Amino acid sequence: MTKDLRVLVVEDEKELADVIVSYFEREGYLVDQAFDGPSAVSLARLSPPDLIILDVMLPGFDGIEVCRQVRTFSDAYILMLTARDEEIDKVVGFAVGADDYVVKPFSPRELIARAKAILRRPRQQMLEQDALIFDGQLHFDSTTLDPTSRTVMVGSKSVDLTRTEFDLLEIMMESPKNVFSRRALLEAVWGGEWYGEIHVVDVHVGHLRKKLSDAGASLGLIRTIRGVGYGMELK
Ligand code: CA
């Protein structure tokens, strides 16, 4: 079951990193390794992990910054390794989106157990909890989307959307805390069968924004994340 799961281990203490890597490999996981912040982020892009074991204190930039950046393009589970109390406060107190943390020193056995527990959590369900759903409809600000009748209302005004515009809005409203890359939106809407210009997404989002704001939705309802893509504007 763990066969195809990929784990990215980010820890700059070589000996500890090697121990963690060998434990995960022994359990049948595919393991990648990074020793500093910047390479952790690029490796997570290059070879998307299911789980990231992420040390807080790292060269380059720290694990918290890694977490923040990775969250803009990935929903991998993140388990942080913390050394000191103030690090724990940071990891727990801020909302960069780590799923759990383990305090150093820990036994590799404990780390594996925590990792397995995280990987058993249904990610999809977590995302749904973030969306505001009642009466089977998605709600965001004054905008209501009904997936069954495929209708969108801003306040009491109905908005006439194309199939593509509707699909884009639905994906973003389902996971309003997520940031979606253009590639992710293309794959979700066109089913990965799109080989053309990736910025076609911008055109559809542009139309979608205009229709929503013409109907009275706030202008910033869908935000642009520079260099990444789009997401809902969080208040
Ligand atoms: Ca460290």
Q: Where are the domains of the chain?
A: 6-123, 130-232
What is the CATH T-level fold of the domain 6-123, as seen in this structure?
Rossmann fold (3.40.50)
**Strongest mean pLDDT among 52-61, 85-94, 223-232:** 52-61
Cα 145 from Cα 140, distance rounded (Å): 9
How many whole angstroms from 204 Cα to the centroid of ligand 1?
44
> Which of 171-175, 199-203, 219-223 shows the lowest mean pLDDT across its residues?
219-223
How many whole angstroms from 11 Cα to the centroid of ligand 1?
6
Provide the pLDDT confidence category of residue 91 given band limits of 50, 70 and 90.
Answer: low
How many whole angstroms from 58 Cα to the centroid of ligand 1?
5
Report pLDDT for 33: 97
How many whole angstroms from 63 Cα to the centroid of ligand 1?
9
How many whole angstroms from 82 Cα to the centroid of ligand 1?
9
Report pLDDT for 126: 43
Q: Give the mean pLDDT of the chain.
A: 85
How many whole angstroms from 62 Cα to the centroid of ligand 1?
9
Provide the pLDDT confidence category of residue 198 given band limits of 50, 70 and 90.
Answer: confident
How many whole angstroms from 79 Cα to the centroid of ligand 1?
14
- By C-alpha distance, which of 122, 120, 146 is closest to 135? 146
Residue 208 has pLDDT above 80, yes or no: yes
Report pLDDT for 178: 79
Provide the pLDDT confidence category of residue 31 given band limits of 50, 70 and 90.
Answer: very high
Residue 155 has pLDDT above 60, yes or no: yes
What is the CATH T-level fold of the domain 130-232, as seen in this structure?
Arc Repressor Mutant, subunit A (1.10.10)
Residue 128 has pLDDT above 60, yes or no: no
Provide the pLDDT confidence category of residue 50 given band limits of 50, 70 and 90.
Answer: very high
How many whole angstroms from 59 Cα to the centroid of ligand 1?
8
Contacting residues for 11 by C-beta, under 8 A, at least 6 apart: 17, 20, 35, 53, 55, 81
Domains 6-123 and 130-232 are alike in CATH topology:
no
How many whole angstroms from 12 Cα to the centroid of ligand 1?
5
Cα 203 from Cα 71, distance rounded (Å): 25
Over residues 158-186, mean pLDDT: 89
How many whole angstroms from 83 Cα to the centroid of ligand 1?
8
Report pLDDT for 25: 95
